[in-house]
Structure formats: C-alpha cells, structure tokens
C-alpha cells in the first residue's frame, strides 16, 4: 500500500466478516447493531508496564453496542485477537459493499452477545494500529514511535483496558470474552482484577504460550525484519515493508486453518491453469493464490511494527507470570469460567484448554469445559456460528439469570 500525504499510511478497519452474498453484505436492520462509531479515550496518567518502562500518556480506541443499565451490571468486554481491532460488529457507513465488524454474527439483538440485554465493549489493544497508541502513533517529539515504543504484554493491554472501564464508569464486568489472544486477555483480567470480573469466556486459547506458538511467531517477525523496507522499524515516511508483513500473515493464516479445511477448500486445484505451467513467478495452485491474497490484503490494514509487538506479547503470555504458579494465579480469581476448545485447532490445542480446566478445578473455581468437534481449525470459533450461538448465548443467559437471582436474594436480606 502506498504512503499517503506526508508518508502517512492509513490503516483501515479489519475485514473479518463473512463473504458477500450476491455482491452485498447483510445491512443495518437485518440483525446487526447497525451504524456504529469508533471512539477514542485519551489518558494522561502514566501507565507503568511489565517491562518497567512507562507510557506517560496513551489513547485507547473502542466501540460500544447496546445500553448500559442503571447499576452498570450488564457490561461485557470482548477482547480481540492478534489481527482484530475494536470494530467487532456493525458498520461505519451505509455503503452496501462495506464489510461488517469481525464478529458481527455474534453481537447484536438476539445474538450470543445480545445487545437487547448486554452493553458490549470492544477496544483496540495497546500496541495496536487501529486507534490505540502503538508504534505507528506519534511519540512526544511528533514522529512515530517505531521501535522506540516500549514492549507491551497481555498484562499491559489489560491494565490499559481497566483505565477505559474506569473512564466509562464500569466497576465490574458481567463477562470478559475472547478467542485466541482475546481469551488470554480475558483470563488476565480475571487474575489481575479479580473483583471486577463475574465470568470469563475463554475460547480457543491457552494459559501459556507454547514453544511451537513462539516458533511460528518468530518466523513471521523475521519475515518482516528481513524486508529491506523495514529499515529498523523507521519506515513511516514510506515505502513500507509490505512484502515481509504479507509473508508473516501467510504463515499465521496457515496456523488458523486445519489440514481438513485446506483440503476441502483448495485441495490441489490449479489457479487459472488447465495444466501445471512449471513456473516460479506466478501462483500455480489455488492455495498459493489464496495465501498471497490474504497477505496483500493484510498489509492494507495493519502496521508491520504492531505485528512485531503484538506477537511478542503473545510469546510472553504465561498466566502464572508474577504469581509463582498457575494455581496461585487462578486462586485469585472470583469469576466463573466457560472454556471452549476445538478438536482440529493445532495452534491452541484441546490439551492446552484442558490444562486450564484442570488448574481451575484444582483451585475449586466454577468452570464448564466444552471440546467441540469442528473441522475449521483455530478459526472454528468464528466459523461455527450456530454452535457458538447456542453454547455461549446459553451460558451467558444462565449466568445472567443466576447472578440476578443472587442479587435479588441479597437485597432481601
């Protein structure tokens, strides 16, 4: 993507929505939250990071859906994954070709995150590139931070979100939810701020990043760093390291799918050829063309340095960090848990979900665990819409009714 005026690259919102039907997407009024607006909260009080570095000021971009009730008890925070952002649902315009938010099928009236009942919040993580302060943001000297931006962790992302919740006047969350890196944030919330979380939806994730997780992330980072246009992270006047970022995305995208889904969608079909052309300069197989498309599309909405920083935050993640052990960390939480894993997910495996389950059981925390048979790999939580609606929507309804009954009994005493 070419640089804009003064070399500024505009990062557009994530496009993780469904494929269009007959050239258009479902529009406002057809089961979505409709037209939404991104908001940005500015914080002047310093934030001390896990590394010991301090951010003197920072911004957090966020969106909200539904209505906060009188006692602010119906708030749900949805945390996004690596490549996501605050735009979880709805549309920014009435353009019929615009794609909806990345989990639009999950958020809205009557959906799993029912905006007729809940007030839903989603924020762009610290270190991101969709409105929250990150390496592409201006430093105090007016130039983009680049590699001068301090390293951040999941703990730091959650601490920044806590400032946002204070800003919104929300002291306690009915639920914190997320898939993949979003689930890491949800778990970190329950441990770092135990008095502020009633329930956690932990989907397709792990309580600690594995060696294999770190390995795949490092390959992606090295692809970016090897791009001569990366220029030590100082590329904001252009040109941009799009080739390296595209390769990083291609690598990551493979880990989100399963062998079954790749075979089902592409097999060994050729791309635009009746027979193998025996060439290296053009994609020969459909899967090659698809990965190149995904990589190129990603460069239009994501910052290469943010990719480096966020994948590092993933690598650092270990819920036991700072608490001595996973049991000591989880003993702090006051939340009830829904843990969901998928049989074909080889990025964050069912065994990793079971590790969290057994640890929660050891410290006697209320938890439900579901291992779902699904063919779509890590992306199953975004693809298995009907299953997820029934499972998560049902869990939230039961939890909400139980919480309401407990509050009513407490008020009678």
Report, as residue numbers or ranges, the catalytic residues: 180, 345, 378
Where would I find the beta strands (DSSP E) of 38-99? 39-43, 47-48, 54-55, 58-65, 75-79
Rounded to whole angstroms, how far apart are CA atoms 354 and 341? 8
| Distance, CA of 266 to CA of 261 (rounded, Å) | 8
Quick check: bond before 68 cis, omega within 30? no
| 290 burial level (CB within 10 Å; 0-12, 13-18, 19+) | middle
Q: Cα–chain-centroid distance for residue 64?
A: 16
Residue 390: CB atoms within 10 A of its CB come to: 12
Q: Which residues contact 274 (CB under 8 A, 6 or more apart)?
A: none
CA 360 – CA 348 distance, rounded (Å): 18
**Burial class of 179 by CB neighbour count within 10 A (0 to 12, 13 to 18, 19+):** buried
Number of H helices, E strands in the chain: 11, 12
Which of 141, 83, 140 shows the shortest CA–CA distance to 306?
83
Report DSSP state, residue 36: -
Question: What is the β-pairing status of strands 175-179 and 75-79?
Answer: parallel
Q: Classify the phi-psi angles of 321: left when phi > 0, otherwise alpha if psi is within -120 to 50, otherwise beta.
A: beta
DSSP E strands, 186-241: 199-203
């Amino acid at each position: 993507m070419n640089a804009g005026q003064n070399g500024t690259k505009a990062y557009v919102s994530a496009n993780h929505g469904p494929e269009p039907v007959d050239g258009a997407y479902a529009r406002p009024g057809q089961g979505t939250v409709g037209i939404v607006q991104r908001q940005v909260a500015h914080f002047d009080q310093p934030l001390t990071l896990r590394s010991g570095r301090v951010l003197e000021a920072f911004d957090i971009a966020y969106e909200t859906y539904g209505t906060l009730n009188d006692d602010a008890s119906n708030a749900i925070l949805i945390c996004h994954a690596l490549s996501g952002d605050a735009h979880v649902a709805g549309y920014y315009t009435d353009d019929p070709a615009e794609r909806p938010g990345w989990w639009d099928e999950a958020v809205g009236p009557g959906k799993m995150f029912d905006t007729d009942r809940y007030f839903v919040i989603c924020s762009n993580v610290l270190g991101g590139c969709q409105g929250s302060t990150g390496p592409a943001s201006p430093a105090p000297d007016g130039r983009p931070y680049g590699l001068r931006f301090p390293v951040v962790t999941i703990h730091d992302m959650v601490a920044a979100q806590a400032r946002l919740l204070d800003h919104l006047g929300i002291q306690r969350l009915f639920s914190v939810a997320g898939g993949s890196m979003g689930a890491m944030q949800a778990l970190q919330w329950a441990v770092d701020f135990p008095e502020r979380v009633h329930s956690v939806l932990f989907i397709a994730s792990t309580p600690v990043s594995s060696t294999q997780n770190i390995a795949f992330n490092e390959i992606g980072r090295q692809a970016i760093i090897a791009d001569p246009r990366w220029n030590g992270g100082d590329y904001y006047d252009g040109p941009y390291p799009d080739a390296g970022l595209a390769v990083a995305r291609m690598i990551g995208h493979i880990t989100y799918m399963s062998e079954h889904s790749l075979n089902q969608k592409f097999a060994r079909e050729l791309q635009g050829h009746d027979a193998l052309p025996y060439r290296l300069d053009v994609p020969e197989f459909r899967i090659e063309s698809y990965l190149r498309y995904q990589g190129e599309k990603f460069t239009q909405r994501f910052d290469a340095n943010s990719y480096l920083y966020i994948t590092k935050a993933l690598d650092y993640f270990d819920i036991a960090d700072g608490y001595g052990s996973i049991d000591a960390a989880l003993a702090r939480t006051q939340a009830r848990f829904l843990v969901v894993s998928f049989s074909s997910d080889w990025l964050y495996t069912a065994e990793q979900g079971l590790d969290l389950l057994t640890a929660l059981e050891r410290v006697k925390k209320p938890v439900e665990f579901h291992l779902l048979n699904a063919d779509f790999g890590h992306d199953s939580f975004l693809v298995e819409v009907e299953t997820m609606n029934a499972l998560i929507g049902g869990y939230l309804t039961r939890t909400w009714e139980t919480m309401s009954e407990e509050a009513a009994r407490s008020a009678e005493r």
